[in-house]
Amino acid sequence: MSSISTPTSDFASAKPIQENKILIIWSFTSWLVVMNTTMFNVALPTVLSELSINSSMASWIVSGYSIAFAISTLTFSRLSDFIPISKLLLIGIAILGVSSILGFFASHFYLLLAARILQAAGAGAVPGLVVVLIRRYVPITRRGKAMSFITSAVSLAFGLGPVVGGAITQYLGWKYLFGITGLVVLFIPFFRKLLPKEKVKRGHFDLLGAILTALSVTGLLLFFSTFSYVILISTLVLSFILWKYLHKMETPFIQPNLLKNRQFLKLLFIGFTTFLTNFSTLFLLPIILTVVFKKEPAEVGLIIFPGAILGAIASQFIGRLIDRIGSVSLIITGQLLLFSGTIMMGLFSTTSPLSLLTIYIVFSIGFSTINSSISNEVTRILSIVEIGAGAGMTQLVQFFGGAFGVTLAGLMLTFQKGLLLELVYRNIFLSISFLIFCAMIMFYFYYRKVKFERII
């Protein structure tokens, strides 16, 4: 039987919502959307061959999507401050559906890249708005369980992306990946019926701030891809202009007060390193399994699948634990699992496919634990008026971390050409584990302040 929740803000309708039904449908939508971010990893070698493009161009199919997805997520979250969630979500799904059709018929690289970026522009509505919905309508005693519905779908999608992508690429062709994502339009009637009826509020959207943010983020990633000092200087100038601009606007795209919230910034760094680790690992695993163990795309997906399933199942238990014991202990547990899994990846990644399968289970559970807990912790430390911008900024930083992780892994592969493969992958994973260790230190300072606040 569906739980009935009453709204927790004056923005919302007076009518309660059918909480469980909405969360289940949104979880399926999240599954399709997030899976779309990982399916192309396995398909990239085929795309590269069929479209006759080089590897650096092909990498932008993943990185370009991640950047657009992150900016879109923040945009939809900011718009939710004065535009109803239902309208924004339906617009996002419609854009995603149209761009999926465009991608299915893409026969040139730039058309394919455009389709992927448009997909991301629509897909960003899904993860950004669900946090706003939960914060606005779900009581705090059930938010952990609510977030676990979504994060379990996300965890499953991260792992199933290579499985589905590999099978479809091998047996049907990579263009049919767009067809899978396009199925998301089937959920439109359900959302129209179940989502709360909200009123439009007067507000202003900072378009220039959004453009400056997108250019700054893209420029930073381009610098790490090219090491061009011209791009670096241009990006620094743009970032300076953005910072000055944000302080002049009454309702800026990124709220400067959030950047002054040290506790929030600590959570952002932890989310950044978590997604960096997850994206880079999911980028490297198909390469290792293909290059070292000569596995076909479908086999690659099946090896990653057990970790994805167990990570998704764990998310359900994690959500209940969050409601009982809070997020802090679980973030510590997740970081320890992620750190251990990355260390083991570095030491045993070229031992056997079975080793990778087993280690990825530990890794996936760690990622699910941190992802669920961070999302819940953000809703706890931010006020109701900050949650839209805060949730969007969290998603922006997380997916930028993912894009940066793919870029970093690709660069390290290039720089280590000529070394033994065992050393190449060991160096990459141990370097990533150092970043996780830094995030663990950061969380120690976060926890110390939380503990102090509880004492006083």
Q: What is the pLDDT of residues 364-413, one digit of tens each?
A: 899 989 988 887 888 788 887 777 678 778 877 888 888 888 878 878 88
* pLDDT, position 5: 55
Helices vs strands, H then E, count in the chain: 17, 2
Rounding to the nearest 10 degrees, give the CA dihedral for residues 62, 63, 64, 66: 90
Pick the CATH number of 18-195+253-455 from 1.10.287.3510, 3.30.1490.20, 3.30.70.20, 1.20.1250.20: 1.20.1250.20
* pLDDT, position 247: 84
Bridge partner list, 17 = 5
Contact 26, 43 (CB under 8 A): no
Contact 97, 180 (CB under 8 A): no
Per-residue pLDDT of the chain (456 residues; tens, 9 = 90+): 445 555 555 454 445 667 788 888 998 898 888 888 778 877 877 787 788 776 667 667 877 887 888 788 878 887 888 889 999 999 999 999 999 999 999 888 889 989 999 999 999 899 878 888 887 888 877 877 787 778 778 777 876 777 888 889 888 988 999 998 899 999 999 999 888 888 777 777 888 888 898 888 888 877 877 778 898 999 999 999 998 898 888 778 888 888 888 999 999 999 999 999 988 898 888 888 888 998 887 888 888 888 877 887 787 788 778 878 878 889 999 999 999 999 999 999 899 999 999 999 999 899 989 988 887 888 788 887 777 678 778 877 888 888 888 878 878 887 888 888 889 999 999 999 999 999 999 999 998 887 666 555
Say what the pTM is. 0.78
The residue type found at 22 is: I
Contact 294, 313 (CB under 8 A): no
Residue 141: CB atoms within 10 Å: 8
Look up residue 32 and give its two tokens. 């399709």
Map residue 4 onto helix, strand or coil.
Answer: strand
pLDDT tens per residue across span 162-217? 788 888 988 898 899 999 889 999 999 999 988 888 877 777 788 888 889 888 88
* pLDDT, position 1: 41
Distance of CA 328 to the CA centre of its chain: 21
* pLDDT, position 2: 47
Q: Which among 318, 328, 289 is positioned nearest to 305, based on CA atoms? A: 289
* pLDDT, position 452: 62
Map residue 5 onto helix, strand or coil.
Answer: strand
Residue 332: CB atoms within 10 Å: 17
Look up residue 127 and give its two tokens. 């993860």
Q: Which among 6, 440, 438 is positioned nearest to 196, based on CA atoms? A: 6
Long-range contacts of 52-57 (CB under 8 A, 24+ apart): 53/109, 55/410, 56/225, 57/109
* Backbone φ and ψ of 262, nearest 5°: -65, -35
Contact partners, residue 12, CB within 8 Å, separation at least 6: 136, 137, 196, 198
Ranges of each domain in the chain: 18-195+253-455
Contact partners, residue 297, CB within 8 Å, separation at least 6: 42, 43, 46, 165, 166, 167, 169, 170, 286, 290
Beta strands in 149-239 (DSSP E): none
* pLDDT, position 345: 94
Sign of the Cα pseudo-torsion (393, 372, 327, 320, in order): positive
For residues 46 and 120, give the distance between their C-alpha atoms in angstroms, rounded to a whole number: 21
Contact 380, 323 (CB under 8 A): no
* pLDDT, position 13: 47
